A and B are shown apart, each in its own frame.
Chain A
């Protein structure tokens, strides 16, 4: 069964460093998402991406964040200068169509900022 994959599974970084989180969505999917979950809290939407551009973003997704689809398979989230409060689990998700009922999540990247 096709699945969303994410790398790395864990990343530890120093405050102020840049990190890039990588995702490979399901191959025929067209809508891509990033969510984050701070430890013990609910999952929060960051950004959605369609047709090579951001379609929607939350207030969390400020200028420190960017997303890119550098080739036909990868979908990346970059945090330019990490802060302690960026420590969280980051989930990538994808869906085939906008109205499709199932949004498939990757296993997540656990980011720790020291």
Chain B
């Protein structure tokens, strides 16, 4: 079974609109972390936002927020006020075993290509 599932291969959004990129995960760990990374066409991996499994509040970083629904095992990324520069591939990732069994390995989803139209 996939540990991280991103069901949207591609998404389109109009500039200045908000967009939600979906991510569901599968783990039996109680302590884990969820990440979103942005990969522009130049190829680098840019860290966007992190959510810990025990965090009470949804994480926010500027225009990025993470809609964390633990019971549903989903960690959707919301980008508000989309900009042309947001066009990129977006990866959801998980780190399990935060309680001590893991050395920090990230497991990634397949990614979603976001295209922002002017």
Whose C-beta in chain A lies nearest to the C-beta of B110? A42
A65 within 8 A of partner (CB): no
List the interface of chain A (C-beta within 8 A of B): 31, 33, 35, 41-45, 48, 50, 55-56, 58, 89, 91, 93, 95, 98-108, 110
The tally of CB-CB contacts under 8 A between chains A and B is 64
A43, A48, A91, A106: the one within 8 Å of B104 (CB): A48
B52, B91, B106, B111: the one within 8 Å of A103 (CB): B106
> How many B residues touch the partner, as a band?
20 to 34
List the interface of chain B (C-beta within 8 A of A): 33, 35, 37, 43-47, 50, 52, 91, 93, 95, 98, 102-111
Residues of A within 8 A of B93 (CB): 43
Smallest CB–CB gap between A58 and chain B, Å? 8
B52, B103, B108, B110: the one within 8 Å of A56 (CB): B103
Residues of A within 8 A of B103 (CB): 31, 48, 50, 55-56, 98
Residues of A within 8 A of B102 (CB): 56, 98
